[in-house]
Chain A
């Protein structure tokens, strides 16, 4: 029984990782209706930036804030410079650009920082809690994710800018007619997603150690989490991330063994998409002919 509890808590901790990335993915989707396959690598690049700042001597929180700000700017820049020209191209071309970004970030990180793992500091202590079932950092990271989630919710729900962004994503034509600068809304969405990704990366790195391939495993599970919760619902994405973390652990420990965990994620993704594509909390879109 203690083992089961342990697995569940461990799953929640891992789920926190997935939840924070899922949030960034949903953010991009809400703003642009695209799935950003390069999100993980962008988060990893931001984390390396933070690491460099800290190694250069900056205190943690200053490096943190600076990284988030710079990631925001980078996100906006990527949207304006790289994605604008392919805005009207078929969706596949956009996917190719994402994949191009993915391999570029991954490769450059390896070249500049090498592949040896690095430790990344945590603002919380890393003392184990509850007899080692979970660490203080993991609790703190989850708290950070939930805070970001709350801030996002408030932003989208109660600020005019948030409203403008939602409008621009859902109906660009009408939004333009209302005077909303759709192009900049998309850029803003990217900036926010990049910033969230940076936060996620900095919370994840202390747990899994920093190396260029840090995010490659996380991304698929984050997708699964976002899908389960509903790709257009931030709350759903976070809940979905936790669910995936726990399920993955339990399945691996008790049901199918650790050697088929990825296949399990595959089945989950296909299953959710087939049975309930809008996820647990998403809005069901009905199009009338």
Chain B
């Protein structure tokens, strides 16, 4: 079974790996300095990549860590995005206040979807969530909801201005805001997954029957993780709505869910840092594919996809880990 090699999370403490601290500090500094070396447009791209990272992280919690396959996370991304758009446009809420609401309503809806999903295994759940993804644009266009969703026209929102005391422009501010939220969400996920809850989820994924026999309440955990995963993806959707400044039914079709799934697998199942690699793949590979072939960009994308599956089945994160192990050599394991 391949399950034991994938899904190993970060070590429980940082203290045992000083090079990790150095890497962390460098990464932090790099992230702060980055937008100043980029054009407005490139800063915008990185902001989008960050929101994808949060979305993929959410999906990974559900699929990589607890083994429930979802092909429909685009729906939660859409719900988060529309929540933000409606609150900002119709009710004049400030952008930062909409995030908790977007997260909360996705948490609830995700949990509610998770309840019937309890009865579905593997491929069946994949099918049900695929149906959700395909139906999402149509639901967003529904006449009954038109007053709120703007129907087929969608909703345009304004980019938030940076706070007056900071001498940076709107795009840079949005990058930092998104970066801060991303850091928060990643920390939250790392915290949840490394402790008791994470172990319970992995147990459920690897052998549900045994987990149940050990006293883990399957129903609670599975439905609950569905909700949390939806919450993460919903917050990501909200952030993307603010960056793109527009939501419409065509923005959230089935290909979005496919892209999120792709990002998760490419980045690495069951890996928190994998979400970042996956997000970079989602954001930048289509542009590369576009340059290789204007006529058939998705064909190039598909080839990249399949190529990754052969060359790096455990994703980029897994591949890097293997590389690190080989370079650093055999070391007595500290905490695993």
Q: Do chains A and B touch in the complex (CB under 8 A)?
A: yes
Residues of A within 8 A of B (CB): 34-35, 37, 82, 85-86, 88-93, 95-97, 99-104, 106-108, 110-111, 220, 223-224, 227, 259-263, 265-266, 269-270, 273-274, 277, 289
Tell whether B328 is near chain A: CB-to-CB under 8 Å.
no
What residues of chain A lie closer than 8 Å to B138, measured between beta carbons? Answer: 259-263
Residue pair B269, A92 in contact (C-beta under 8 Å): yes
What residues of chain A lie closer than 8 Å to B295, measured between beta carbons? Answer: 110-111
Residue pair A111, B299 in contact (C-beta under 8 Å): yes
Residue pair B122, A260 in contact (C-beta under 8 Å): no
Known contacts A96-B262, A259-B141, A260-B142; A107/B302 CB under 8 A: yes
Identify A100's interface contact among B130, B135, B296, B306, CB under 8 A: B306
CA distance A266 to B295 in the complex (A): 33
Q: Which residue of A lies closest to B265 (CB)?
A: A96
Beta-carbon contacts under 8 Å, B177-196 to A: none
Tell whether B275 is near chain A: CB-to-CB under 8 Å.
no
CA distance A274 to B142 in the complex (A): 26
Q: Which residue of B lies closest to A108 (CB)?
A: B299
Q: How far is the CB of A277 from chain B (nearest CB, A)?
A: 6
Residue pair A86, B128 in contact (C-beta under 8 Å): no
Q: How far is the CB of A76 from chain B (nearest CB, A)?
A: 18
Known contacts A88-B2, A92-B63, A223-B127; A100/B269 CB under 8 A: no
Residues of B within 8 A of A (CB): 2-3, 6, 63, 69, 71, 116, 119-124, 126-128, 130-132, 134-135, 138-139, 141-143, 209, 213, 258, 261-262, 265, 269, 293, 295-299, 301-303, 305-306, 309-310, 313
Identify A104's interface contact among B126, B135, B302, B310, CB under 8 A: B302
Identify A227's interface contact among B127, B132, B301, CB under 8 A: B127
What are some 11 contacts across the A-B interface (CB < 8 A)? A35-B127, A90-B2, A91-B69, A97-B309, A101-B302, A223-B131, A260-B139, A260-B142, A262-B135, A263-B138, A265-B134
Secondary structure at chain B's binding surface: helix, strand, loop or mixed? helix
What residues of chain A lie closer than 8 Å to B297, measured between beta carbons? Answer: 107
Known contacts A108-B299, A262-B134; A273/B262 CB under 8 A: no
Q: How far is the CB of A219 from chain B (nearest CB, A)?
A: 9
Q: How far is the CB of B250 from chain A (nearest CB, A)?
A: 14
Residue pair A96, B305 in contact (C-beta under 8 Å): yes
Q: Which residue of B lies closest to A275 (CB)?
A: B119
Known contacts A93-B265, A273-B119; A110/B309 CB under 8 A: no
CA distance A34 to B258 in the complex (A): 18
What residues of chain A lie closer than 8 Å to B303, measured between beta carbons? Answer: 100, 104
Q: How far is the CB of A78 from chain B (nearest CB, A)?
A: 11
What residues of chain A lie closer than 8 Å to B296, measured between beta carbons? Answer: 107-108, 110-111
Interface centre among A85, A96, A102 (most CB of B within 10 A): A96
What residues of chain A lie closer than 8 Å to B123, measured between beta carbons? Answer: 34-35, 91
What residues of chain A lie closer than 8 Å to B313, measured between beta carbons? Answer: 86, 89, 93
CA distance A261 to B293 in the complex (A): 36
Residue pair B119, A107 in contact (C-beta under 8 Å): no
What residues of chain A lie closer than 8 Å to B262, measured between beta carbons? Answer: 96, 99
Known contacts A96-B261, A100-B305, A260-B138; A270/B116 CB under 8 A: yes
Interface centre among B138, B303, B309, B310 (most CB of A within 10 A): B309
What residues of chain A lie closer than 8 Å to B258, measured between beta carbons? Answer: 99, 103
Identify B142's interface contact among A89, A99, A106, A259, CB under 8 A: A259
CA distance A273 to B131 in the complex (A): 12
Residue pair B209, A289 in contact (C-beta under 8 Å): yes
Residue pair A90, B269 in contact (C-beta under 8 Å): yes
What residues of chain B lie closer than 8 Å to A34, measured between beta carbons? Answer: 123
What residues of chain B lie closer than 8 Å to A261, measured between beta carbons? Answer: 138
Identify B131's interface contact among A102, A270, A274, CB under 8 A: A270
What residues of chain B lie closer than 8 Å to A95, measured between beta carbons? Answer: 69, 71, 126, 261
Residue pair A266, B135 in contact (C-beta under 8 Å): yes
CA distance A108 to B269 in the complex (A): 29
CA distance A111 to B6 in the complex (A): 38
Q: How far is the CB of A289 from chain B (nearest CB, A)?
A: 6
List 16 additional A-B contacts (Cβ < 8 Å) besides A96-B261, A97-B309, A111-B299: A89-B309, A92-B69, A93-B313, A100-B306, A100-B309, A103-B301, A104-B298, A111-B295, A259-B142, A262-B138, A266-B128, A269-B128, A270-B131, A273-B119, A274-B116, A277-B120
Interface centre among A86, A262, A289 (most CB of B within 10 A): A262
What residues of chain A lie closer than 8 Å to B2, measured between beta carbons? Answer: 88-90
Q: Which residue of B lies closest to A35 (CB)?
A: B123
What residues of chain B lie closer than 8 Å to A107, measured between beta carbons? Answer: 296-299, 302
What residues of chain B lie closer than 8 Å to A289, measured between beta carbons? Answer: 209, 213
Q: How far is the CB of A195 from chain B (nearest CB, A)?
A: 23
Identify B309's interface contact among A37, A93, A266, CB under 8 A: A93
What residues of chain A lie closer than 8 Å to B122, measured between beta carbons? Answer: 91
What residues of chain B lie closer than 8 Å to A220, measured between beta carbons? Answer: 130-131, 134
